[in-house]
């Protein structure tokens, strides 16, 4: 009897664990693939944040996080010059000293600069005052940002207080809609495959540089850019893509009817 009860208990444990694992795998697949319907729901609930732009035109914004880097950024800029495309670099403040010339080169080449806070850490952990101080400190390092100012919070996590805080300082959050987990995968072939399969008009693609461990971005861009161009995509900065928005973004704390 004890053996029988033991087997029944074991089965009861195994079945829920199995179901739990299936659910986790399915949820992981949904998050990693970031289907457009999921991004649409995120945008509906956060209309003041830019995730992507609804359009039939085959356009995208390539954004590169964690810039600048003395090792990778020059090679990235060379590739962007080679293919003649603009991108939006999101700048980390602590990486600017000693690399100011790279920011100047970005601007001269027609690229856009966004604010990615002082350090590569979750911005959601900062207090209201610390968040504002971080944002302004990086803005001072970057210099004039133009008519539109974009912020991407560290690690991508945000709350409405952060959105309102940034808005008061003239910023709008840009999260993006297509993140192939490049800084985790670090395999240019797998990242390339994921991006080509998931790309859609109006997407905002998120890639990373920032250190030698991310040198995969060089062969990745050298293959990905011409492949996207070959299937009809045009690259834009985030500000250029945002111009295609058909619905004006809501003020923080408000939603569209």
Identify the DSSP state of 244: T
Does the structure show a pLDDT above 80 at 138? yes
The structure tokens listed for 132 are: 């504002």
- Residues 47-67 pLDDT 10s: 999 999 999 999 999 999 999
- Residues 159-179 pLDDT 10s: 999 999 999 999 999 999 999
In the predicted model, what is the mean pLDDT of residues 6-23? 48
- Please report which residue ranges of the chain form alpha helices under DSSP H: 2-33, 36-45, 73-83, 100-108, 128-142, 160-168, 182-185, 188-198, 217-230, 238-242
- Residues 75-125 pLDDT 10s: 999 999 999 999 999 999 999 999 999 999 999 999 999 999 999 999 999
How confident is the model at residue 38, as a pLDDT? Answer: 79
| DSSP three-state, residue 175 | coil
Sign of CA dihedral 257, 164, 174, 121: negative
Count CB atoms within 10 A of the CB of residue 26: 10
pTM for the predicted model, two decimal places: 0.84
Does the structure show a pLDDT above 70 at 256? no
């Amino acid at each position: 009897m004890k053996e029988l009860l033991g087997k029944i208990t074991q089965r009861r444990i195994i079945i829920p664990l199995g179901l739990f694992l299936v659910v986790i795998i399915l949820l992981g697949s949904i998050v990693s693939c970031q289907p457009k319907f999921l991004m649409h729901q995120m945008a509906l609930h956060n209309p003041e944040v830019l995730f992507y732009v609804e359009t039939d035109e085959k356009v995208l914004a390539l954004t590169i996080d964690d810039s600048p880097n003395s090792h990778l950024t020059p090679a990235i800029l060379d590739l962007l010059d080679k293919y003649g495309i603009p991108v939006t670099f999101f700048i980390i403040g602590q990486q600017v000293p000693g690399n100011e010339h790279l920011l100047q080169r970005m601007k001269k080449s027609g690229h856009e600069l966004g604010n990615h806070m002082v350090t590569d850490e979750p911005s959601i952990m900062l207090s209201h005052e610390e968040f504002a101080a971080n944002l302004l400190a990086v803005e001072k390092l970057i210099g004039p940002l133009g008519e539109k100012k974009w912020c991407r919070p560290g690690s991508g996590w945000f709350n409405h207080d952060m959105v309102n805080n940034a808005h008061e300082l003239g910023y709008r959050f840009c999260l993006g809609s297509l993140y192939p987990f490049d800084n985790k995968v670090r395999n240019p072939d797998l990242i390339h495959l994921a991006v080509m399969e998931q790309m859609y008009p109006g997407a905002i693609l998120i890639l990373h540089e920032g250190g030698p461990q991310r040198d995969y971005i060089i062969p990745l861009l050298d293959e990905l850019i011409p492949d996207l161009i070959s299937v009809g995509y045009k690259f834009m900065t985030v500000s250029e893509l945002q111009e295609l928005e058909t619905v004006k973004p809501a003020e923080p704390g408000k939603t569209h009817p």
